[in-house]
């Protein structure tokens, strides 16, 4: 006696989920309050969100209600992930034949399908996913369930290994070294000079001054990052570096983290001397660079860090920039330069597990243009 343990709609759902996860690198996301729906996300995919709905839709009114619900959930995803635009593919599997496709909602492309044959012959899917016809799993019943389960488990295991490697606690090495260097230099300014608040001592140890940079002392763009004016300046910056630095060092790895710190510190110093001619020093520009880097990293892992970006990272950046503009004596242009520099350097280096060659190239090009422009403004304008 022959019988089927799943119907053709279920087979279509399983085949689609298998294809999008194993071939197109989509990841399931949890959406509260939904039943018989599967939501998938890929930040770099042709569709950011793919929704596969196997709920029965019998008439036009139910179709409209389903579209409305989909729009509302996507709005929630946009808010949670700080996205201005989210394009989605809405695949409806169990729709009455009398219900026809309506005009798509904004940024939501809806398709009505019923079985695997319709999927592999649907022009709307083939245009975006041309390999689905050859890659869609072609099995039925128990064989389909076993193959889908095994393949998805293997893909999930691989993703979990990558995720665990990035987010597992790691021993911080570069951050303590950077803090140690800043403290040693601070003490040397008192031992070999007249203290950290003395202008001549600051200049002697490498503070950032436009007139001296223009004379060829370009190294000041870097050395000034390790100088601090007064004990409170040192303590505040070292505390911020310890909290932010050890976290980002674990995310990016030691080499990339060091490049972000040094590179964003130099870009912050460069913007500073372009704007004004004062004696400036401090690791604040580099620390803002770490915040910019963390912002870029968090954007790519916003499924996991979306709340932290929205409630912690962005408020800290905005608050500190506001304080910099309101209070005298703060080199806010170094902060802005460092922030932008850290973001672009991380973009050029690539985020572990999410690196995309085209994005890295764009980051490198924009970063180069920024440095060239600031250098031109400093030396030629």
Which residues belong to the active site? 284, 335
Q: How far is CA 26 from CA 13, 22, 172, 286, 350, in A?
A: 14, 8, 32, 35, 20
Residue 238 near residue 226, CB atoms below 8 Å: no
Residue 359 near residue 350, CB atoms below 8 Å: yes
Q: How far is CA 379 from CA 197, 218, 372, 373, in A?
A: 28, 11, 10, 10
Tokens standing for residue 231:
């004990």
Contacts of 273 (CB under 8 A, 6+ apart): 208, 209, 210, 213, 221, 280, 378
CA 126, distance to chain mean position in Å, is 29
The tokens 């040693």 sit on which residue? Answer: 184
Residue 377 near residue 337, CB atoms below 8 Å: no
Q: What is the DSSP string of 269-332?
A: HHHHHHH--S-B--SHHHHHHHHHHHHHHHHHTHHHHHHHIIIIIHHHHHHHHHHHHHSTT--H
- Between CA 227 and CA 235, with CA 230 as vertex, the angle to 5 degrees is 80
Give backbone dihedrals phi and psi of 284, rounded to 5 degrees, phi first.
-60, -40
Which strand ranges, in their side-by-side order, compose the sheet holding 27-29? 27-29, 37-41, 49-53, 88-92, 108-112
In angstroms, the CA 140 to CA 118 distance is 15
Residue 370 near residue 340, CB atoms below 8 Å: yes
**Residue among 66, 130, 122 nearest 92 (CA):** 66
Element (H, E) at 346: helix 332-349
């Amino acid at each position: 006696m022959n019988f089927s343990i799943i119907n053709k709609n279920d087979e279509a759902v399983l085949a689609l989920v298998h294809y999008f996860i194993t071939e197109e690198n989509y990841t399931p996301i949890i959406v509260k309050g939904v039943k018989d729906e599967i939501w998938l996300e890929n930040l770099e995919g042709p569709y950011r969100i793919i929704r596969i709905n196997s709920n029965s839709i019998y008439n036009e009114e139910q179709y409209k209600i389903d579209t409305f619900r989909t729009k509302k959930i996507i709005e929630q995803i946009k808010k949670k992930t700080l996205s201005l635009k989210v394009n989605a593919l809405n695949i409806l599997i169990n729709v009455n034949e009398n219900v026809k496709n309506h005009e798509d909602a904004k940024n939501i492309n809806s398709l009505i399908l019923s079985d695997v044959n319709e999927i592999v012959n649907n022009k709307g899917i083939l245009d975006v996913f041309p390999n689905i016809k050859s890659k869609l799993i072609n099995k039925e019943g128990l064989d389909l369930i076993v193959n889908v389960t095994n393949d998805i488990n293997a893909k999930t295991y691989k993703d979990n290994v990558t995720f665990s490697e990035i987010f597992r606690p790691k021993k911080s090495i570069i951050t303590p070294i950077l803090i140690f260097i800043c403290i040693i230099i601070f003490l040397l300014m008192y031992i070999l000079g007249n203290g950290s608040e003395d202008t001549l001592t600051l200049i002697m140890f490498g503070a950032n001054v436009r007139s001296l940079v223009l004379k060829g002392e370009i190294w000041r763009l870097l050395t000034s990052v390790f100088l601090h004016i007064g004990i409170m300046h040192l303590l505040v910056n070292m505390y911020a570096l310890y909290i932010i630095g050890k976290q980002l060092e674990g995310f990016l790895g030691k080499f990339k983290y060091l490049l972000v710190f040094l590179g964003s510190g130099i870009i912050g110093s460069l913007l500073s001397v372009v704007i004004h001619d004062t004696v400036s020093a401090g690791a604040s520009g580099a620390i803002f660079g770490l915040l910019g880097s963390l912002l870029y990293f968090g954007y790519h892992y916003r499924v996991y860090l979306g709340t932290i970006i929205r409630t912690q990272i962005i408020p800290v950046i905005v608050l500190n920039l506001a304080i910099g503009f309101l209070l005298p004596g703060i080199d806010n242009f170094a902060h802005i330069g460092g922030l932008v520099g850290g973001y672009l350097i991380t973009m050029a280096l690539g985020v572990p597990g999410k690196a995309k060659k085209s994005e890295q190239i764009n980051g490198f090009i924009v970063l180069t243009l920024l440095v060239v422009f600031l250098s031109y403004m400093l030396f030629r304008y």
